[in-house]
Amino acid sequence: MNATSQASSSMRDRKITSARVNVCSPNRNFVTLIIETEGGVVGYGDATLNGRELAVASYLNDHLIPALIGKDCGQIEDIWQYFYKGAYWRRGPVTMSAIAAIDTALWDIKAKMANMPLYQLLGGKSRDSVLVYGHANGTDASHTVEEVLRYKEMGYQAIRAQSGVPGLDVAYGVSKDKMYYEPADSHLPSEQLWDTRAYLNFIPKLFEKVRDAVGTETALLHDGHHRMTPQEAARLGKSLEPFDLFWLEDATPAENQEAFRLIRQHTTTPLAVGEIFNSIHDCRELIQNQLIDFIRTTIVHAGGITHLRRIADLAALYQIRTGSHGATDLSPVCMGTAIHFDTWVPNFGIQEYMRHTEATDEVFPHDYKFESGHMICAETPGHGVTLDEKLAAKYPYDPRQLPIARLKDGTMWNW
Ligand code: CS2
Ligand code: MG
C-alpha cells in the first residue's frame, strides 16, 4: 500500500462511526460515553454529574453526538474547541461534563491507536505512583479517631477526617457505610440542618484528638464543604494551625474568588478549592493571586484532559499543585484517567480516592491499583478502564439528588 493510500486508510480508520451514552446504577448512578471508530477502536469517557446525570446524557445525545459522528477522532483539540466555542452558551457543569466525556474518550482512543498507556501520550511519568487520600469519618470525635487509625492501618499516608457535629443530626461527609460515602440519598433533595457555630467550636477539638492519635507523619485533610463565610473560614484555618493540616477544602463558596484573600490574610493553613469548578475562568484569580495552594478541578467536570492540562499549567506558574476531586460519584473511568494524568502532571499534589463499591468495580473493569497509600496505573494502552455494558444493564438508572441545607431559622444554606 503506498503512502497516499496508507494515509487515506488511516484517516478512514480514525472516522468516528458511533457514540452512545450509557446510564447505569451499580450502587449509584454513572453516565458513560462510548465512542467507536471505523477502525474498531473504542474509547470511554465519564459524564457523571451527581444529581444531574440525565441533563448531561441529554446534552450529549441531543446536542453533541449528532455533530460528532463522522469527525476524525485524532482531532482532539479541534473537537474540544468546536463543542466549547460552538455551543455559544459556554461553560457550566452540564456542558463541560459532556465535553469532558468526549475529550476523555478521544484521548483513550488516541492512546490505544498509539499502543501506549495514556500517561506516555501526555509526556511520560513524573512519578512512579500517585499519593492518594482516603475518607475517614465518624459520628463523633472518638469514632472519627478510630476510623482515621483504621485508614492508617490500611496503608493510607493521607487521610481526610469528617465527623458528626454535637447538636446536629447529620453532618456532611459522615457515611452510613464504612467504606463508601454517597450523599445523593433520595429522589427529591433531603433537608439537613446546619449550625456553623457548633461546627467551628467542635472541629479544632476533633483535630487535636485526631493529631494526638495518628502522630505527626500522616497528612490530615478536612472539607469545609462551602459552609463558612470568609471570616468564619479564617477563624477555622487559624484554629487548625497547631494540627498541621495538609489542606482545608472548600472553606467558603468560591463564586467570589476574592473572598479567599480574607482567609489568606489570617491563616497559614493550606487552602484547596475547585471540585465544583468547570473551567479555568472559575479559578483564574484564585491562582494568579495565589489565594489557594491546591486546585481540585477534575477530568470529568472541567472539560476533560484537554482543559485540565491548561488549568494545571496555569497553576504551576504560581506553585499551586493539583489535588483532584475523586469522590465515589466520579466513575472509575474518571479515576483511571485521573491516575494517568496525575502520573504525568509536573505540579501534582494529591489525588482524592474515595473508593467504589464492588458492584461498581465489576461494571467498570479497570487496571489501576492501590498500594501503601498510592495509586499505580498499569501499562495497558489507553486509560485502562472499560464498561461491561451487559452487566451495567442489570443496574438501571435510579433518580437521586443531593441534599440541601438550612440554618435553624430556615434560611437556605450551602450543603
Ligand atoms: C466531597 C464530595 O469528595 C469531596 O470532597 O466534596 O463528597 C461531594 O460532596 C460529592 O462529590 C458531591 O456529589
Ligand atoms: Mg469536597
Q: Is residue 38 part of a domain?
A: yes
Q: What residue numbers bound the domain in which 103 lies?
A: 3-117
- Pair 160, 297 in one domain: yes
Residue 177 has pLDDT above 90, yes or no: no
- Pair 95, 226 in one domain: no
Q: In the annotation, is 226 catalytic?
A: no
Q: Which of 5, 78, 65, 6 lies closest to 36, judged by CA?
A: 65
Q: In the annotation, is 172 catalytic?
A: yes
Which residue's alpha carbon is nearest to atom 10 within ligand 1?
327
- Pair 273, 183 in one domain: yes
Q: Is residue 310 part of a domain?
A: yes
Q: Calculate mean pLDDT across residues 239-265.
A: 98
CA of 275 to the centre of ligand 1 (A): 8
Which residues on adjacent β-strands are paired with residue 272? 249, 294
- Pair 219, 357 in one domain: yes
Q: Is residue 399 part of a domain?
A: no
Alpha-carbon gap, residue 279 to 94, rounded angstroms: 12
- Pair 322, 192 in one domain: yes
**Cα–Cα distance list, 69 to 18, 82, 307, 387, 389 (Å):** 6, 13, 22, 21, 21
Q: Is residue 408 part of a domain?
A: no
Q: Which of 302, 256, 276 lies closest to 91, judged by CA?
A: 302
Which residue's alpha carbon is nearest to atom 7 within ligand 1?
327
Q: Is residue 354 part of a domain?
A: yes
- Pair 226, 109 in one domain: no
Q: Specify the pLDDT at position 179.
A: 73
Split into its structural domains, the chain has a count of: 2
Q: Specify the pLDDT at position 181.
A: 81
| C-beta separation of 254 from 282 below 8 A | yes
- Pair 65, 128 in one domain: no
Find the CATH number of the domain harbouring 23.
3.30.390.10
The set of residues, in sequence order, having a beta carbon less than 8 Å from that of 8 and lying 6+ positions away, is none
- Pair 335, 368 in one domain: yes
Q: What is the pLDDT of residues 281-323, one digit of tens each?
A: 999 999 999 999 999 999 999 999 999 999 999 999 999 999 9
Ligand 1 atom at minimal distance to the Cα of residue 354: 3
- Pair 312, 186 in one domain: yes
Alpha-carbon gap, residue 334 to 384, rounded angstroms: 11
Q: Specify the pLDDT at position 11.
A: 79
| C-beta separation of 345 from 320 below 8 A | no
- Pair 207, 267 in one domain: yes
- Pair 143, 192 in one domain: yes
Radius of gyration over alpha carbons of the chain, in Å?
21
CB distance 352 to ligand 1 below 6 Å: yes
pTM summary value: 0.97
- Pair 337, 374 in one domain: yes
Q: What is the pLDDT of residues 100-159, one digit of tens each?
A: 999 999 999 999 999 999 999 999 999 999 999 999 999 999 999 999 999 999 999 999
